[in-house]
């Protein structure tokens, strides 16, 4: 995909939420408006491979506790 210079750059890069913490990254991905490819809607932190592994580990840990809880708690 060809990326053109943006007409608007969001003031803040949205970080990743991993294991209950907001994490920033050195790389950023732009979310470009498909109807106006000169418009950047938002910018997001690009997770590293280590971030991805930590997110997988955090999800697996959270799933263990979630799966042992009651269905009533799941909908709360």
In three-state form (DSSP H/G/I as H, E/B as E, the rest C), the secondary structure along the chain is: CCCCCCCECCCCEECEEECCEEECCCCEEEEECCCCCCEEEEEEECCCHHHHHHHHHHHHHHHHHHHHCCHHHHCC
The pTM of this model reads: 0.67
Q: Is 76's pLDDT higher than 60?
A: yes
Mean pLDDT calculated for residue range 5-17: 72
In the structure, what pLDDT confidence band is assigned to residue 74 with cuts at 50, 70 and 90?
confident
Q: Is residue 17, in this structure, part of any structural domain at all? A: yes
Q: Is residue 68, in this structure, part of any structural domain at all? A: yes
- Structural domain count, the chain: 1
3-7, 51-55, 72-76 — which one is most confidently predicted on average? 51-55
What's the confidence (pLDDT) of residue 1? 52
Q: Is residue 5, in this structure, part of any structural domain at all? A: no
What's the confidence (pLDDT) of residue 7? 54
In which domain, by residue range, is 48 found?
Answer: 13-74
């Amino acid at each position: 995909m060809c990326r053109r210079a943006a007409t608007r750059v969001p003031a803040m890069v949205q970080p990743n939420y991993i294991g209950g913490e907001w994490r920033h990254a050195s790389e950023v991905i732009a979310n470009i408006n498909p109807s106006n490819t000169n418009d950047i809607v938002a910018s997001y932190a690009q997770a590293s491979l280590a971030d991805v592994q930590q997110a997988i580990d955090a999800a697996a840990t959270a799933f263990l506790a979630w799966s042992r809880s009651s269905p009533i708690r799941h909908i709360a």
